[in-house]
């Protein structure tokens, strides 16, 4: 499948590595410190740039791209593996370059690979990049000594490796290069080169297959969605760095290689809901380092939504795990930072109540310098604080801290009342970005979900969705700033809100947009034009990956309520027979199978101690009476199964 974006590119990355290699639109490599520039020719004619950079099956992190010079086609294949740097912070790329003569006469093929400083200005810089490259960039080969930035099979003089061959018709010849993200001893590179490129590819595939199998397994009968989920999961697992005793979530492998609470919370939650509990738990613990002595969680100045997002992430990471000593200890360790954050928010709210300023009892103004881009009291700050309060109450109850939970619950009830009152006082039909005029839509788009500051059927949420989708030209992605500026994730929460509001078609339009706006490697971007130009905002972006994971998971299995909701937005194609294995929920892991065939919809799932809401396939209704113990749900096309139910069958007919 072709790349949705106007320029090809890819990421060669590995979990917990502190640098990654970007495959550029020219087919070069760049790690934030130095570049590897490839000049390929056929009979002295320069090969053109790659038309695409693609992952195998559009999800496996094994990148391929080709460049052609007449009858000579150069095929590049690259895969990353851990190695070299101390601990788990480094990666090495194994790159195979193969020239093939596709003509009927002999042709000369040549390739040069030059280690060079980045272009000025570079597309991104590694956070640990030196001010200048003091040591010369050099290659290693068998028998070389010293420190090197790359390895080749044959000796190299200087910073440029060269390969030349005369190819008979149909003949292929190539070479192997190893490219570390940190300069390594030549002997270490030679040792790593003892493993063939084919073996590296196979080993990497097996590792990722094993890691993905440890999480939730989705079998939907729709390869595009399944592969997009795998690509997103790989992105989420890879965007982690080790800082001290724990890992932290980073904002991307390239220019966003730092910790943002806004992005980190989404990454933690997405890993938690697809079964990577240990990784999510460790990331949540790593985020505790962002708490200031006064209790506030801040990663960027003026972004006062961070405290609520941190608490929400703690709840997402810890409360879906089955009971264990590890879980109990993690909850206990999260409770005290959570209470300090709650007290900090309460102090901010109290200051507002005493001042008489609008809005009373809500968060004060902030200047986020991002997102809403307005100096004002922001709706999103309050919505996320509400989400954080709800998560903290759950954590306290899970930890047996009932008095603390009751105190948080009381402040949550007051907060919700004041939030709704402030919204009515604006006299707006929708939810604005700020309580005062101005600002871009951002945190207000999360009010319905995941913050749940308003009920899904609140008309303000419908008006907000109607407004932002109209600006974008229809349900799907939303614009940010200008109409030609689409955002990859900020409006994706509206997809889950639409599911909860019974607007399945609009939710599916959001999913369709998330599936479309991906690179040929299967990963998504953050901000781009309708023509697919992402400028210097390099894909991939983990929050876009998290948005896709969350929406697909919620469409099949939604548990952020006192009722388990199954197949809330399952696509028609999935009803041919789908299954989900090992999905974490508030009530323990759940397996699910569902199918529609021969005039009947059927579900089979792990029983839970709460009611389960079953949503029928799109375009159908119940035919005849419901079999006991099923009862009608509160909405057309929904039936309810009592606690402990493990399977259900319903006769269906076309809704028309």
Q: How many domains does the chain have?
A: 3
State yes or no: pLDDT of 1 exceeds 70. Answer: no
pLDDT at 261: 97
Is residue 95, in this structure, part of any structural domain at all?
Answer: yes
- Using N-to-C axis directions, what is the helix angle for 306-318 and 277-287, rounded to 10°? 150
Residues 435-458 have a mean pLDDT of 97
Q: Which residues pair with 605 in a beta bridge?
A: 592
Q: Which of 364-373, 549-558, 564-573 has the lowest mean pLDDT?
A: 364-373
Number of DSSP helices (H) and strands (E) in the chain, helices first: 13, 32
149 and 17 in one domain?
yes
At residue 649, the 3 state secondary structure works out as strand
- pTM for this predicted structure: 0.96
Is residue 467, in this structure, part of any structural domain at all?
Answer: no
| CA–CA separation, 652 and 531 (whole Å) | 43
pLDDT confidence bin for 601, thresholds 50/70/90: very high
Residues 425-453 have a mean pLDDT of 97
Domain CATH number, residue 32:
2.70.98
Residues 265-274 have a mean pLDDT of 98
Residues 144-165 have a mean pLDDT of 94
Supply φ then ψ for residue 362, to 5 degrees. Answer: -115, 180
311 and 170 in one domain?
no
State yes or no: pLDDT of 334 exceeds 60. Answer: yes
Residue range 603-622, pLDDT digits in tens: 999 999 999 999 999 999 99
pLDDT confidence bin for 332, thresholds 50/70/90: very high
Is residue 247, in this structure, part of any structural domain at all?
Answer: no
**Cα torsion 572, 577, 578, 579: sign:** positive
Burial 549-567 (b: 16+ CB within 10 A, else e): bbbbbbbbbbbbeebbbbb
Q: Give CA angle at 9 (8, 10), nearest 5°.
A: 145
Residues 94-98 have a mean pLDDT of 98
Residues 195-215 have a mean pLDDT of 97
299 and 396 in one domain?
yes
Instruction: Among 209, 240, 268, identify where a domain stops.
Output: 209
Residue range 30-65, pLDDT digits in tens: 999 999 999 999 999 999 999 999 999 999 999 999
Residues 74-78 have a mean pLDDT of 98
Residue range 507-559, pLDDT digits in tens: 999 999 999 999 988 889 999 999 999 999 999 999 999 999 999 999 999 99
67 and 187 in one domain?
yes
**552, 517 in Cβ contact below 8 A?**
no
**11, 118 in Cβ contact below 8 A?**
no
189 and 46 in one domain?
yes
130 and 31 in one domain?
yes
pLDDT at 87: 57
Q: Which of 115-124, 288-297, 473-482, 629-638 has the lowest mean pLDDT?
A: 115-124
Alpha helices (H) in 450-571, listed in sequence order: 459-472, 493-500, 504-516, 542-556
190 and 43 in one domain?
yes
pLDDT at 83: 85
pLDDT at 364: 92
| CA–CA separation, 556 and 571 (whole Å) | 9
Residues 64-89 have a mean pLDDT of 89
**38, 120 in Cβ contact below 8 A?**
no
Residues 628-642 have a mean pLDDT of 95
pLDDT at 656: 79
| CA–CA separation, 491 and 232 (whole Å) | 18
Residues 183-194 have a mean pLDDT of 94
Q: Tell me the two tokens of residue 216.
A: 């939730």
296 and 205 in one domain?
no
pLDDT confidence bin for 88, thresholds 50/70/90: low
Is residue 161, in this structure, part of any structural domain at all?
Answer: yes
Is residue 42, in this structure, part of any structural domain at all?
Answer: yes
pLDDT at 123: 87
State yes or no: pLDDT of 289 exceeds 90. Answer: yes
Q: CA end-to-end span of the chain, whole Å?
A: 35
Please give the share of the chain, as a percent, with pLDDT higher than 70. 98
pLDDT at 175: 98
304 and 171 in one domain?
no
pLDDT at 132: 80
Is residue 488, in this structure, part of any structural domain at all?
Answer: no
Interacting residues of 439 by C-beta distance below 8 A, sequence separation 6+: 372, 373, 374, 376, 378, 432, 433
Residues 487-512 have a mean pLDDT of 97
Residues 266-270 have a mean pLDDT of 98
pLDDT at 128: 85
Query: Half-sphere exposure of 20 toward its Cβ, with a 13 Å CA cutoff?
Result: 28
Residue range 378-392, pLDDT digits in tens: 999 999 999 999 999
Residues 222-241 have a mean pLDDT of 97
Secondary structure letter of residue 574 according to DSSP: G
State yes or no: pLDDT of 355 exceeds 80. Answer: no
Domain of residue 331: give its range. 291-440
Residues 85-110 have a mean pLDDT of 91
Domain CATH number, residue 632:
2.60.40
Is residue 34, in this structure, part of any structural domain at all?
Answer: yes
Instruction: Among 381, 408, 440, identify where a domain stops.
Output: 440
**439, 432 in Cβ contact below 8 A?**
yes
At residue 463, the 3 state secondary structure works out as helix
- Average per-residue pLDDT in the chain? 95
Tell me the residue length of the chain. 656
Burial 579-594 (b: 16+ CB within 10 A, else e): bbbbbbbbbebbebeb
pLDDT at 48: 97
Is residue 136, in this structure, part of any structural domain at all?
Answer: yes
319 and 192 in one domain?
no
Instruction: Among 159, 185, 209, identify where a domain stops.
Output: 209
53 and 176 in one domain?
yes
State yes or no: pLDDT of 415 exceeds 60. Answer: yes
């Amino acid at each position: 499948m072709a790349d949705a974006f106007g320029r090809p590119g890819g990421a060669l990355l590995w979990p917990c590595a502190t640098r990654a290699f970007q495959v550029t639109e020219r087919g070069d490599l760049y790690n934030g410190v130095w570049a590897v520039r490839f000049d390929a020719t056929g009979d002295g004619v320069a090969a053109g740039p790659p038309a695409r950079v693609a992952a195998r099956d559009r999800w496996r992190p094994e990148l391929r791209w080709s460049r052609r010079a007449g009858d000579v086609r150069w095929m590049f294949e690259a895969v990353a593996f851990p190695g070299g740097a101390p601990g788990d912070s480094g990666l090495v790329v194994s790159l195979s370059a193969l020239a093939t003569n596709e003509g009927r006469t002999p042709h000369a093929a040549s390739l040069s690979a030059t280690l060079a400083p980045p272009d000025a200005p570079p597309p991104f810089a590694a956070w640990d990049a030196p001010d200048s490259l003091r040591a010369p960039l050099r290659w290693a080969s068998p028998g070389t000594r010293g420190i090197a930035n790359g390895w080749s099979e044959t000796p190299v003089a200087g910073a440029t490796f060269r390969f030349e061959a005369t190819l008979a018709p149909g003949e292929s010849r190539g070479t192997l290069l190893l490219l570390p993200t940190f300069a390594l001893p030549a002997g270490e590179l030679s040792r790593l080169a003892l493993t063939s490129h084919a073996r590296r590819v196979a080993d990497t595939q097996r590792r990722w297959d094993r890691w993905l199998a440890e999480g939730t397994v989705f079998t939907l009968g729709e390869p595009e969605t399944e592969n997009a989920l795998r690509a997103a999961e790989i992105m989420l697992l890879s965007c982690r760095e080790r800082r001290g005793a724990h890992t932290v979530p980073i904002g991307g492998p390239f220019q966003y290689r730092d910790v943002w609470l806004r992005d980190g919370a989404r990454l933690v939650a997405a890993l938690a809901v697809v079964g990577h509990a240990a990784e999510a738990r460790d990331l949540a613990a790593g985020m505790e380092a962002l708490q200031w002595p006064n209790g506030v969680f801040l990663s960027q100045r003026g972004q006062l939504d961070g405290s609520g997002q941190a608490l929400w992430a703690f709840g997402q990471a810890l409360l879906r795990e089955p009971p264990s000593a590890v879980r109990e200890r993690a909850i206990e360790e999260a409770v005290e930072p959570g209470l300090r954050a709650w007290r900090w928010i309460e102090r901010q709210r109290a200051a507002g109540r005493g001042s008489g300023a609008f809005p009373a009892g809500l968060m004060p103004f902030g200047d986020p310098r991002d997102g809403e881009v307005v100096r004002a009291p922001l709706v999103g700050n309050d919505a996320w604080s509400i989400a954080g309060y709800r998560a903290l109450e759950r954590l306290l109850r899970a930890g047996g801290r009932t008095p603390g939970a009751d105190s948080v619950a009381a402040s949550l009830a007051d907060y919700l009342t004041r939030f709704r009152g402030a919204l009515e006082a604006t006299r707006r039909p929708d939810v604005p970005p700020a309580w005062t005029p101005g600002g871009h839509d951002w945190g207000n788009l999360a009010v319905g979900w995941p913050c749940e500051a308003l009920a899904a059927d609140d008309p303000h949420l419908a008006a907000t969705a109607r407004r932002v989708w109209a600006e974008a030209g229809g349900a799907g992605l939303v614009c940010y700033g200008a109409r030609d500026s689409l955002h990859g994730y900020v409006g994706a929460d509206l997809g889950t809100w639409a599911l909860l509001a019974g607007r399945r078609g609009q939710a599916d339009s959001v999913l369709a947009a998330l599936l479309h706006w991906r690179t040929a490697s299967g990963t998504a971007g953050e901000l781009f034009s309708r023509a697919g130009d992402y400028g210097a905002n390099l894909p991939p972006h983990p929050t876009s990956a998290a948005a896709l994971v969350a929406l697909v998971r919620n469409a099949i299995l939604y548990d952020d309520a006192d009722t388990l909701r199954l197949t809330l937005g399952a696509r028609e194609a999935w009803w041919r027979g789908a299954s989900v294995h090992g999905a974490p929920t508030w009530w323990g892991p759940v397996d699910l199978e569902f199918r529609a065939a021969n005039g009947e919809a059927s579900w089979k799932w792990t029983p839970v101690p709460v009611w389960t809401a079953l949503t029928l396939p799109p375009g159908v209704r119940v035919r005849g009476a419901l079999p006991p113990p099923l009862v009608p749900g509160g909405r057309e096309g929904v039936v309810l199964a009592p606690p402990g139910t493990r399977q259900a069958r319903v006769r269906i007919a076309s809704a028309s």
